[in-house]
A and B are shown apart, each in its own frame.
Chain A
Amino acid sequence: MKKQGSDSNPVPVLPVLPEPLKDLKIKYTKIFINNEWHNSVSGKKFEVFNPANEEKICEIEEGDKLCVFITADVDKAVKAARRAFELGSPWRTMDASERGRLLNKLADLVERDRLILATMEAIDGGKLFSTAYLMDLGACIKTLRYCAGWADKIHGRTVPMDGNFFTFTRHEPIGVCGQIIPWNFPLVMFIWKIAPALYMGSLIKEAGFPPGVVNIVPGFGPTAGAAISHHMDIDKVAFTGSTEVGKLIKEAAGKSNLKRVTLELGGKSPNIIFADADLDTAVEFAHIGLFYHQGQCCIAGSRIFVEEPIYDEFVRRSIERAKKYTLGDPLLPGVQQGPQRKTEICLAYVVFPGELGGEGERLASSSKTSVICFSQTTKIDKEQFQKILELIESGKKDGAKLECGGGPWGDKGYFIQPTVFSNVTDDMRIAKEEIFGPVQQIMKFKTVDEVIKRANNTSYGLAAAVFTKDIDKALTFAAALQAGTVWVNCYSAMSAQCPFGGFKMSGNGREMRQLLQLFKRHPAVV
């Protein structure tokens, strides 16, 4: 049995990493509606800063509210989307395979402009350029291609109904979908930070999507985001972000028009390491599972349960690994950790037509939808940065052992040292709350039953992992853990083909491949 990566490996090789663009001009700073660029109705703008050096990047038109819960810009976008969704419109009468072709075209364009988009991500999002270029853009392109393929493959059914009837189901698009997206993986979620999100608008137009199908309105959560979730003419809202805001969105949907809601929210995901696991692999995955993207992943493996016999060795190696990090400007080669991003109302707002599922899928299946995509305003504040430092303090106070890191790094920008805590117990705040930063918690356990109970004892249920060579343990945990994704001997393995989403308060619905649950039946009588 050969390992992947050996000899003539057919697994697609990652492209060679180019230099980030110097002197990147942000070309698109306005609101994207109907395949055109608009100023905000209120005339307001907001500033976007580079989190690595706190310098202003550009000013963006702000989609704002004029009166309670109604954003004029959102309204404009919804009207455009609704028009694009009318019976007989180009989008509604388009062949499903043609929708797929457009999505493939969009993927081609993203591939063409990969360097521009990756540089924007790095500047605007504080994400490592190499990560943005190789991982985020790679996943973004693959997701679009994957969803392109579904466009003409989401089948209705014919149903052998009792009696003299002929029954069939049609899978129809939901309609105007509001999509509110976060700031942590803008590209992957199609969400991009603002600048890339708006740039995406230009590509959507270039690919040939009809006007009004995708609309992108930058704005802040409490105004533009609330306007979407309260809007009476939006049929569905999809949100990725914090559990706190997820609750507000569901409430708003309930108070307004009972729009369909899908939520992909926070997590405090357990990562369970048994003594029989391959220790090198486990240490590495546990490390990446937490520190990837400065710890700003909803799936971060932020509760690491290690079996007693290997606990000390595991902690020792984890510290060693964390200390190897190079912090700095995310555009520089060799840098492994960039600055923290801003606070959690972080949202970008997207209205897609569509479906449950990843953006692409929404487009594909809902085919007909119009998408309004609101990108968050990334006004940098120190909130997220300070929240992380405050949680680190609470860890020390609650009696966890700070093994390394624990403070800010550098004198400019929002950097935090890679931090490892050992001797963490379940009742500490750092073991219960989502930190969303480079802070690793390592706990000890003795028995299978105990660790299952402890792992599940949380209001979250997004992801989980178990490391073991024992097939019985692996399958037991795959079934017992209350989480939307369980990884066995790996972490963060995600791809467009696999569903993703949360149990419990980590969300409702699954992104990617969660196909239409909504059918309409049209019985015809013989």
Chain B
Amino acid sequence: MAGGKRGGCPDAAGGVTIWVGGVPLREAVTTQAGVPIFINNEWHDAVSKKTFPTINPATGEVICQVAEGDKADVDKAVKAARAAFQLGSPWRRMDASHRGKLLNRLADLIERDRAYLAALETLDNGKPYSVSYLVDLDMVVKCLRYFAGWADKFHGKTIPLDGDFFCYTRHEPVGVCGQIIPWNFPLLMQAWKLGPALATGNVVVMKVAEQTPLSALYIANLIKEAGFPPGVVNIIPGYGPTAGAAISSHMDVDKVAFTGSTEVGHLIQKAAAESNLKRVTLELGGKSPNIIMSDADMDWAVDQAHFALFFNQGQCCCAGSRTYVQEDIYHEFVERSVEKAKSRVVGNPFDSKTEQGPQVDEEQYKKILGYISAGKREGAKLLCGGSPAADRGYFIQPTVFGEVQDNMTIAREEIFGPVMQILKFKTIEEVIERANDSKYGLAAAVFTKDLDKANYVSQALRAGTVWVNCYDVFGAQAPFGGYKASGNGRELGEYGLEAYVEVKNVTIKIPQKNS
């Protein structure tokens, strides 16, 4: 890494090298205007030649410059993708099983470079290195392998149509897919998007978050190395209002998939409607209820509720940010939760003891501190934390609020930070009504030993995922997505493939039908 450019990052892993088009940044940075854009398996500067800095959130210092893609670059990428998708192209004629093989190969390459990728992720995003390495990278590899297997298994049907006809369906790729991914799990969100899109034979124009562009661009190298034909995957670092908007309003993009805030989700759906009615899938915000019944295993429930909120610095769309605790165990639960939050280790994300790193950037950091003030102002009881946790970098103390009421800002809005809200409830009917009283519906959980309660609550909650006696359990096999304003469509699992195919019905006149 170029001296000085590291920005004095707390890099205990020792020297994370940034790569630019296959060349370590140390050599490349002197000749190029930052980490470039990936189009057609080649590296390009932004058409505008503009760059933006990406920041190490642990120090607030610049890591390096990155090419700033906008509309002109999106146009270039869409053209490359469209060319790769022409009838008769190598990608269109490739055996489905071979697409699977390429995805498996990509997983192999990520596994090979796992330590480097994990370090890069930590440097750019701030999450603890142990988490990047053990959780994020593990899930990335498994996700790609899972979708590799689907490539030749997502079947069309033959249909017993009335009359003398032969009728069948083909599952065809949608075409050019715009994919806009967030900064909280940069690599994993990239895998969630690429896996189903490539397994089903689509081509991709991906915009990566301006906060965390580095790991996704490194993956671009591996995509090329794995042998994907040029133009199949194109990756553009840039900002939402420029590059993101160019994708969602593009007339030659067939589908857009977005993961991020509900606010931006509205803009994307609108842009799709106003342009070419492209297909839209959205995975948006949440304010997920986590319901603890008094018969639950207390140790486990406290542990899981803590994890549900504080995991990834609280930067999870599915964070369990409304913890409803039944009256008779409320005090003990609060006491233990505070104890647990106080013992959470905040610090250098490259230190193996660290459980919580910095928030991703200054904007998020300030927004979270603002919510904490609102909580205090509106009468919630601040039980621990509530302040910055370091002199520099975007660290925030693990914060717990008790006696939170449903109408408080911190109980209604997505904080996306290490701030836990604990609410009290009496009856199961009451808590279901309160849990569902939200514009969001991404995830929910219930902790109980009672089979009837578990079944009843999991049916009653309006959320795309309900965990019973656990939280944040993800696997490539299980679908994930939101009810209501938490999104449209599902990712992962077999359901995750549906967003990436057009179903074509072919009907042929035949002389005589026989069963």
Binding site for B on A (CB under 8 A): 1-2, 4, 8-12, 96-97, 100-101, 104, 142, 145-146, 148-153, 155, 166, 471-472, 475-476, 479-480, 495-497, 524, 526
Q: How far is the CB of A93 from chain B (nearest CB, A)?
A: 16
Q: Using Cβ atoms and an 8 Å threshold, which residues of chain A touch B512?
A: 476
A-B contact pairs, 21 of them (CB 8 A): A1-B88, A9-B90, A11-B94, A12-B95, A12-B98, A97-B142, A97-B146, A101-B145, A145-B97, A149-B153, A150-B153, A153-B153, A153-B477, A153-B494, A166-B455, A476-B510, A476-B511, A476-B512, A495-B97, A497-B96, A497-B152
Assess whether B514 is in contact with A480, with CB atoms less than 8 Å apart.
yes
CA distance A96 to B476 in the complex (A): 12
Among A8, A100, A476, point to the contact of B145 (Cβ < 8 A): A100
Chain A residues near B456 (CB-CB < 8 A): 526
Cross-chain contact B100 with A145 (CB below 8 angstroms): yes
Q: Given the complex of chains A and B, what is the CA–CA distance between A497 and B95 in angstroms?
A: 11
A11 touching B93, Cβ below 8 Å = yes
CB contacts (< 8 Å) of A97 on chain B: these are 142, 145-146, 475-477
Tell me whether B451 is interfacial, beta carbon within 8 Å. yes
Instruction: Tell me the smallest distance from the CB of B374 to a CB of chain A, in Å.
Output: 40
Partner of A146, one of B152, B475, B477, B511: B152
A20 to chain B, nearest CB (A): 26
Check if B149 sits within 8 Å of A475, measured CB to CB. Answer: no
Q: How far is the CB of B166 from chain A (nearest CB, A)?
A: 5
Name the residue of chain B whose CB is nearest to the CB of A476. Answer: B511
B511's closest neighbor in chain A, by CB?
Answer: A472
- Closest chain-A Cβ to B491's Cβ sits at a distance in Å of 16
Chain A residues with CB below 8 A from B148, complex form: 149
Which 3 pairs across A and B sit closest by C-beta, in order of nearness?
Answer: A149-B149, A10-B90, A10-B94
* Contact B100–A149 (Cβ < 8 Å): yes
B150 at the interface (CB under 8 A from A): yes
Query: Contacts A2-B88, A142-B97 given: A471-B152 contact, CB under 8 Å?
Result: no
Residue in A8, A145, A149, A480 whose CB lies within 8 Å of B150: A149
Task: Name B's A-contacting residues (CB within 8 A).
Answer: 88, 90-91, 93-98, 100-101, 104, 142, 145-146, 148-153, 166, 229, 451-452, 455-456, 475-477, 494, 508, 510-514
Q: Are A104 and B93 in contact (CB under 8 A)?
A: no
* Chain B residues closer than 8 Å to A153, beta-carbon distance: 149-150, 153, 477, 494
CB closest chain-B residue, reference A448:
B511
Bound state CA distance, A40 and B87, in angstroms?
A: 59
Within 8 Å CB of A10, what residues of B? Answer: 90-91, 93-94, 98, 229
Residue of B nearest to A142 (CB): B97
Chain B residues with CB under 8 Å of A497's CB are 96-97, 152-153
Instruction: Tell me, rounded to whole Å, the shortest Cβ–Cβ distance linking A152 to chain B.
Output: 5
Taken together as a complex, chains A and B put the C-alpha atoms of A472 and B164 apart, in Å, by 11
How distant is B195 from chain A, measured CB to nearest CB, in Å?
Answer: 12
Chain A nearest CB from B287 CB (Å) reads 27
A155 touches B145 (CB 8 A): no
B465 to chain A: closest CB distance in Å? 15
Q: For residue A526, which residues in chain B have a CB less than 8 angstroms away from its CB?
A: 451-452, 455-456
Bound: A390/B338 CA distance, A? 89
Complex Cα gap A378–B98 (Å):
36
Closest to B96 in A: A497
List chain B residues, Cβ under 8 A from A150: 149, 153
Q: What is the minimal beta-carbon distance from B209 to any residue of chain A, in angstroms? A: 28
Q: How far is the CA of A448 from the CA of B153 in the complex (A)?
A: 35
- In the complex, the answer to whether A471 meets B508 with C-beta atoms within 8 Å is yes
Name A1's closest neighbour in chain B (CB-CB). Answer: B88
Docked complex Cα distance between A152 and B152 (Å): 14
Tell me, in angstroms, the Cα distance from A147 to B511 when the chains sit together: 38
Docked complex Cα distance between A480 and B511 (Å): 12
**Among A1, A150, A152, which residue has the most Cβ atoms of chain B within 10 A?**
A152
Q: A145-B100, A524-B451 are in contact. List 18 more A-B contacts (CB 8 A).
A: A2-B88, A8-B90, A9-B90, A9-B93, A12-B101, A97-B142, A97-B145, A101-B145, A146-B153, A148-B149, A149-B150, A152-B477, A153-B494, A475-B166, A475-B510, A496-B97, A497-B96, A526-B451
Closest Cβ–Cβ distance, residue A164 to chain B (whole Å): 10
Q: B514–A100 contact, CB under 8 A?
A: no
- B514 partner residues in chain A, CB cutoff 8 A: 479-480
CB distance from B232 to the nearest CB of A (A): 11
The answer to whether A155 touches B149, judged by C-beta atoms less than 8 angstroms apart, is: no
For A148, give the chain B residue with the smallest CB separation.
B149
Closest to A472 in B: B511
Distance between Cα atoms of A10 and B95 in the complex (Å): 8
Cβ of B218 to closest chain A Cβ, rounded Å: 24
Asked if B510 contacts A472 (CB within 8 A), the reply is yes
Nearest CB of chain B from residue A9's CB, rounded to whole Å: 7
A75, B94: Cα distance in complex, Å: 47
In the bound assembly, the distance between CA atoms of A152 and B153 in angstroms comes to: 12
